[in-house]
Structure 1
């Protein structure tokens, strides 16, 4: 065998042995080729492995981005819903404000009393029972009750109708088309006897036939002549409240009539025990006469607070 040749013996156990002679150059070439092929395969495996890892990382990143997008989308939907909710609330608040303005306008809050000497009247002290009136009445309960009613306007539009009805059944409307108060509630010098006596109402002076209004929804309990009160109207508003309008020149309602707050019920006069044209106005709570003025000015005072 030549020293530059390689001898390769091949046998499959059945045939005779075969001998092949390759030059060393060819052998080296084959070895290099095999090694290169193996290296190439190894590099391809490595590259493919790296790509697989990168693809997995990319897929993970894409999933994270999708999750973030979904979260942002849900937040956007939530913000949209909140925006619509706020818009609805603003519409409700505007509606509430309009209803409040209408209610306040109907309740005639602009009346401001002007105290002045003028016509007076009413019962003499001897005709008044001590149980018929309260001198020093605490009106905090009235203020608390009415404040709750007014405050409820700010809570929800759906409560508006009920609150409106409650206020309209309460005698808080100004009773006459005049602001002149000629005699307040409480002790005074009687205009007929010049003796200190109790005045169980408030006197509003004005021209003859000045319009007189019901101060709250109710039912006419009495309409006609009533002794020293002259021509008089008594209205039952429910909730323990009644109101009396006296010394009228003319009466426009009769017993049993349903009347509304602000409705014309008569005209100012000077009938009965009276020194001149005026309205003698009383508020009765559980049958006892109380100062009408806090009722007449309640809405105005509540708006000023």
Structure 2
């Protein structure tokens, strides 16, 4: 028995009564295919509209993040400028100390060997001795100010954490090297060969020295109530938790452990618990 093909009949009518009514038939499959092809542009339009909307939202989010990070960098630059001023003050104080020491020696040679009473009920203090006393006060005050500034600088990460100065990825928004999505890079990456020494950015105490998830072999150092530094993807860890460090101590070596595409040092500075751009601190004395 011959199988009957399923068709759809289309009738075209005319307003003219003398014209013949036109009828034609099409297989259902063809009608369905044509209908599907007609729907494809609508589906694609909806898809691209939705994709564009998501991209726009992501761009707006990144723009907001960038604005926040820019404000943080501006604030950080203000702090760095303040530190530079402190450094300039220290240098000025050093010159002042040399001058004070010279003046003190001169004033001391001018003092009489024996100071006796000059009569009456008062003993006058010689002018040179009063002058020397003022020098001593000024000298001590200057020393105290210098010691305080030097203490702050010792616990502020102001040096390059590696002998390599080649930066492969900066702080801020970037495309993730693994999934190509937009993300915030919370530190800087310093390119270097495996085994290149890594140095402590400032005086401090090691709070973490172990494999640390995607960071790989990682060291964290607390320098003060304000600053913490992080060094990751290391091939070697040379310190342990609780060790006290001096600025510039060799604490490990560059590697590619954890979530890494090649040998480099991921270096972070956290100020009051939040990541900031390390570069202004690393270059404060080297501009």
Q: TM-score normalised to the size of structure 2?
A: 0.57
Higher-Rg structure is 1
Q: Specify every segment of 5 or more residues in structure 1 that has no aligned partner in the other structure, as ranges.
A: 1-129
Aligned pairs for 1:16-27 within 5 A = none
Aligned pairs for 1:183-262 within 5 A = 183-262=169-248
Aligned position for 1:142: 79
State the secondary structure of the residue aligned to 1:243. strand
How far off is 1:212 after superposition? 0.1
1:152 to 89, 96, 104: 89
**8 Å contact 2:77–2:280 — kept in the other structure?**
no
State the secondary structure of the residue aligned to 1:255. coil
Looking at structure 1, the residues matched to 253 and 193 of structure 2 have their Cα atoms a distance apart, in angstroms, of 10
Give a deviation string over 1:23-70, Cα, whole Å, max 9, x none: xxxxxxxxxxxxxxxxxxxxxxxxxxxxxxxxxxxxxxxxxxxxxxxx
1:279 to 260, 265, 285: 265
Aligned pairs for 1:1-305 within 5 A = 135-136=69-70, 137=72, 138=74, 139-153=76-90, 154-155=92-93, 156-157=96-97, 158=143, 159-301=145-287
How far off is 1:147 after superposition? 2.4
How far off is 1:300 after superposition? 1.6
CA-based RMSD: 2.0
**8 Å contact 1:182–1:203 — kept in the other structure?**
yes
Looking at structure 2, the residues matched to 140 and 213 of structure 1 have their Cα atoms a distance apart, in angstroms, of 23
Looking at structure 2, the residues matched to 292 and 144 of structure 1 have their Cα atoms a distance apart, in angstroms, of 14
Looking at structure 1, the residues matched to 286 and 238 of structure 2 have their Cα atoms a distance apart, in angstroms, of 28
Q: How many residues align?
A: 171
State the secondary structure of the residue aligned to 1:221. strand
How far off is 1:265 after superposition? 0.4
Which structure has the higher relative contact order (CA within 8 Å, separation 6+)? 1
Q: TM-score normalised to the size of structure 1?
A: 0.53
Looking at structure 2, the residues matched to 239 and 167 of structure 1 have their Cα atoms a distance apart, in angstroms, of 14
State the secondary structure of the residue aligned to 1:165. helix
**8 Å contact 1:229–1:246 — kept in the other structure?**
yes
Aligned position for 2:115: none
